[in-house]
Amino acid sequence: MASNPAHTALWPAPHAGGAVHATVHVPGSKSVTNRALVLAALAAEPGWLRRPLRSRDTVLMADALRAMGVGIEEGVGPDGSGEAWRVIPSGLHGPATVDVGNAGTVMRFLPPVATLADGPIRFDGDPRSYERPLHGVIDALRALGARIDDDGRGALPLTVHGGGALEGGPVEIDASSSSQFVSALLLSGPRFNQGVEVRHIGSTLPSMPHIRMTVDMLRSIGAQVDTPESGGEPNVWRVTPGALLGRDLTVEPDLSNAQPFLAAALVTGGRIVVPDWPVHTTQPGDRLREIFTEMGGSCELTDRGLEFTGSGSVHGIDVELGEVGELTPGIAAVAALADSPSTLRGVAHLRLHETDRLAALTKEINELGGDVTESADSLHIRPRPLHGGVFHTYDDHRMATAGAVIGLAVPDVRIENVATTAKTLPDFPDLWTGMLGN
């Protein structure tokens, strides 16, 4: 890995000389784009996906579906209004090999799809992908009638021997380590002969907004889904078998990827406008409006989009982040620059993300002079004067953007492998320097 210049290069994080004022067009949501690709591939008719995110994770998803026989044509939408992908479902088939990279959505959402293919589908990926939990999906699919070879690892690499159909029905899983286990089964559930009834039996369930996103998107293309919120049993989701409609879907901006830009306004006392911020959304990033307001900012949804303004001071926060864990690195970066301590709770599952994010944040902030301690499921951050240095990213896009936020307020921060931001936020360095007017 060290031979790749993108991994060894140090990016000088721009230092803000004053308040940042900018309008930032945030690219589309990875979570929405990859769910939409899966659902369109399983639909009974072609559909359009407008303003999709083009990033490493979404290209991996599109290429994986193409390998299994799905047609995905990239171009301009039918009315000429910007980039759109035409998804043309066809008979899923193997043999095929899927590269999941280190994308949780690809490694978890596609094995259920592969059970519907005729023939074997092999899944492989980056070395880190071998360490990320997949047992919940593998065990559940076996219980529903699938044949999977994983040499007993409960992880990648593996081969799904698709039989063209899956019986489906009720299944129990422990999704404590990732809500994606639930979403994976729900997305393909309408195509199973009996649909699927997913019963979560674990002690906790992180990232519930992502399950609500899955349910909303299923319903939008004709699936019948019963959920705990709609009067069903707690921790049980039922998807009825049936055809999915080909639809014209527009991807929302990725609100979690708006985080570093909103943080820029907060830590510099400036103002950032993010156009097209949705009034109603299931994206976890929408919580930023509340969290960053409590930390010293103010925001307003206007015709221009979300206008977020920093007050010139940053306050610590004691906050439960179990449902929105992906926001933790950016919040930790802001908290390290605050005027009082912070505690970020309920984020034990972050140890299983692209890297162990709690350990990584503790190490990197402390090496810049910070005072961060970690417990099993929390980070405790006591602000101290920070100094420059190298901020390592561990091939984790959200570590890279967290380092960039610190660099706004701390001179001479250099970020190792900023190119890892391409996983979900293409052209981040250009967006960041453009925001600063550089």
Was 31 annotated as part of a binding site?
Answer: yes
Q: Which of 326, 354, 364, 374 is catalytic?
A: 326
Was 398 annotated as part of a binding site?
Answer: yes
Was 178 annotated as part of a binding site?
Answer: yes
Was 30 annotated as part of a binding site?
Answer: yes
Was 423 annotated as part of a binding site?
Answer: yes
Q: 248 near 50, Cβ under 8 Å? A: yes
Sheet containing strand 21-23, edge to edge, reads 21-23, 271-274, 305-310, 297-302
Was 357 annotated as part of a binding site?
Answer: yes
Was 194 annotated as part of a binding site?
Answer: no
Cα gap 304→300, rounded to integer Å: 10
Phi, psi of 335 (to 5 degrees): -60, -30
Please count the other Cβ atoms lying within 10 Å of the Cβ belonging to residue 26.
Answer: 26
**Residue 73 annotated to the active site:** no
Was 35 annotated as part of a binding site?
Answer: yes
Was 326 annotated as part of a binding site?
Answer: yes
Cα gap 68→251, rounded to integer Å: 24
3-state secondary structure labels for all residues of the chain: CCCCHHHHCEEECCCCCCCCEEECCCCECHHHHHHHHHHHHHCCCCEEEECCCCCHHHHHHHHHHHHCCCEEEEEECCCCCCEEEEEECCCCECCEEEECCCCHHHHHHHHHHHCCCEEEEEEECCHHHHHCCCHHHHHHHHHCCCCEECCCCCCCCEEEEEECCCCCEEEEECCCCCCHHHHHHHHHHHHCCCCEEEEECCCCCCCHHHHHHHHHHHHHCCCCEECHHHCCCCCEEEECCCCCCCCEEECCECCHHHHHHHHHHHHHCCEEEECCCCCCCCCHHHHHHHHHHHCCEEEEEECCEEEEEECCCCCCCEEECHHHHHHHHHHHHHHCCCCCCEEEECCHHHHHCCCCHHHHHHHHHHHCCCEEEECCCCEEEECCCCCCEEECCCCCHHHHHHHHHHHHHCCCEEEECHHHHHHCCCCHHHHHHHHCCC
Was 353 annotated as part of a binding site?
Answer: yes
Annotated binding site for phosphoenolpyruvate: 30, 104, 132, 180, 357, 398, 423
Annotated binding site for 3-phosphoshikimate: 30-31, 35, 178-180, 207, 326, 353
Annotated binding site: 30-31, 35, 104, 132, 178-180, 207, 326, 353, 357, 398, 423
- Which residues are marked as active site? 326
